[in-house]
């Protein structure tokens, strides 16, 4: 795991966007694994700006998103499909038919999980997967305790995750109880993983991550066992990570 320190949210977003843009330039038909949440907004803004100014093209890129709420239709303003269209896809030249997100309104969500897993395989796997991190260390919606071997699956969201995401919804009661998420096994097959963290609310989780212990209690800790992970975090997110750890992972 390699740590890149950023001064603040803006710089974290720029550095992450640079990595994504280089990936797309080197391999124009890349499969990008995408994430949602507030952490990603700055990155998507940078990608859109770069597309407008420098013409980086996504015409041949395929994207697969990490997760989707069960019960929210694509045109629901809180669905992750809606988020992706609004913040990225509508502003770049990717055909929507090349953008994939689990279908949260499928009649058979178990079958949908299997279909999604096969779909990622049929695309040739993920070249670059972007991840945010939940306050309890979750990646995608893989909550603490989830075995690392699980592929795409249905999850019951913990009250703390529903609470953390309630700010996007009219009220806490409106936050769905379930989601479909790529499993940790799915995420770990990605060839390169980029994890982003910003702000003091992520500081305790980042301190746990950089302790280095691999445990299902902190789902993101599995990334220590992946050969190609880059973490970009700002100073607030790293505020509880001791200097010696920053040096070890910063090399
Ligand atoms: N499923 C998403 C995660 O993929 C995301 O990483 C996390 C953090 O979100 P934020 O970036 O808003 O802090 O929120 C949700 O739970």
**Which DSSP string corresponds to 80-129?**
HHHHHHHHTGGGSS--GGGEE---TT-S-HHHHHHHHHHHHHHTT--SEE
Cβ of 214: how many Cβ atoms within 10 Å? 12
Mean pLDDT within 172-181:
97
CA–CA–CA angle 224, 228, 230 (5° rounding): 80
Q: In angstroms, what is the span from residue 134 Cα to ligand 1's centroid?
A: 5
State yes or no: pLDDT of 190 exceeds 90. yes
What are 197's strand-pairing partners? 233
With a Cβ cut-off of 6 Å, ligand 1 is lined by 35-39, 66-67, 132-134, 140-141, 161, 165
Mean pLDDT within 117-139:
97
Cβ neighbours of residue 213 under 8 Å, at least 6 residues apart? 221
Q: In angstroms, what is the span from residue 37 Cα to ligand 1's centroid?
A: 4
Cβ neighbours of residue 117 under 8 Å, at least 6 residues apart? 151, 152, 186
Q: Considering only CA atoms, which residue is closest to atom 3 of ligand 1?
A: 140
pLDDT in tens, 148-171: 999 999 999 999 999 999 999 999
pLDDT in tens, 53-110: 999 999 999 999 999 999 999 999 999 999 999 999 999 999 999 999 999 999 999 9
What is the Cα–Cα distance from 205 to 203, expressed in whole angstroms?
5
Q: In angstroms, what is the span from residue 109 Cα to ligand 1's centroid?
A: 21
Q: Please give the ipTM for the structure prediction.
A: 0.95
pLDDT in tens, 91-107: 999 999 999 999 999 99
Residue with tokens 């992450």: 16
Two tokens, residue 232: 């970009």
Q: Considering only CA atoms, which residue is closest to atom 8 of ligand 1?
A: 134
CA–CA–CA angle 39, 49, 94 (5° rounding): 85
Residue 78 vs residues 83, 100, 107: alpha-carbon distances, Å: 7, 17, 20
CB-based burial of residue 211 (10 Å sphere; 0-12 exposed, 13-18 middle, 19+ buried)?
Answer: middle
Q: What is the dihedral of CA 56, 58, 61, 65, to 10 degrees?
A: 110
Q: In angstroms, what is the span from residue 131 Cα to ligand 1's centroid?
A: 8
> Which residue of 101, 104, 138, 154 sits with most ligand 1 atoms within 8 Å of its CB, as the best mutation to test the pocket?
138
Q: What is the mean pLDDT of the chain?
A: 97
Two tokens, residue 176: 């769905």
Q: Considering only CA atoms, which residue is closest to atom 4 of ligand 1?
A: 140
Q: Considering only CA atoms, which residue is closest to atom 15 of ligand 1?
A: 37
Assign 251 a pLDDT band (cuts: 50, 70, 90).
Answer: confident
Catalytic residues: 67, 136, 138, 143
Using alpha carbons, select from 103, 125, 238 the residue that is nearest to residue 180. Answer: 103
Q: In angstroms, what is the span from residue 38 Cα to ligand 1's centroid?
A: 7
Q: Considering only CA atoms, which residue is closest to atom 7 of ligand 1?
A: 134
Which domains occur in the chain, in start order? 2-194+213-235 (3.40.50.1360)
């Amino acid at each position: 795991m390699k740590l890149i320190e950023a001064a603040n949210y803006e710089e974290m977003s720029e550095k992450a966007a640079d990595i994504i843009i280089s990936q797309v330039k080197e391999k124009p038909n890349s499969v990008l694994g995408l994430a949602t949440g507030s952490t990603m907004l700055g990155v998507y803004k940078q990608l859109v700006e770069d597309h407008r100014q420098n013409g980086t093209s996504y015409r041949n890129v395929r994207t697969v998103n990490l997760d989707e709420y069960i019960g929210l239709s694509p045109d629901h303003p809180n669905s992750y499909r809606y988020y992706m269209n609004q913040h990225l896809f509508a502003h770049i030249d990717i055909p929507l038919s090349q953008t994939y997100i689990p279908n949260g309104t499928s009649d058979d969500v178990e079958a949908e999980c299997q279909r999604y897993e096969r779909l990622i395989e049929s695309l040739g796997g993920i070249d670059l997967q972007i991840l945010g991190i939940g306050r309890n260390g979750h990646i995608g919606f893989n909550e603490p305790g989830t075995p690392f071997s699980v592929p795409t699956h249905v999850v019951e969201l913990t009250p703390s995750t529903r609470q953390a995401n309630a700010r996007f919804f009219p009220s806490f009661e409106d936050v769905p109880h379930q989601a479909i998420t790529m499993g940790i096994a799915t995420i770990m097959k990605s060839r390169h993983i980029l994890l982003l963290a910003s702000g003091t609310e992520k500081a305790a989780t980042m301190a746990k991550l950089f302790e280095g212990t691999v445990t299902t209690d902190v789902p993101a800790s599995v990334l220590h066992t992946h050969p190609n992970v880059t973490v970009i975090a700002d100073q607030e997110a790293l505020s509880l990570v001791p200097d010696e750890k920053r040096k070890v992972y910063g090399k």
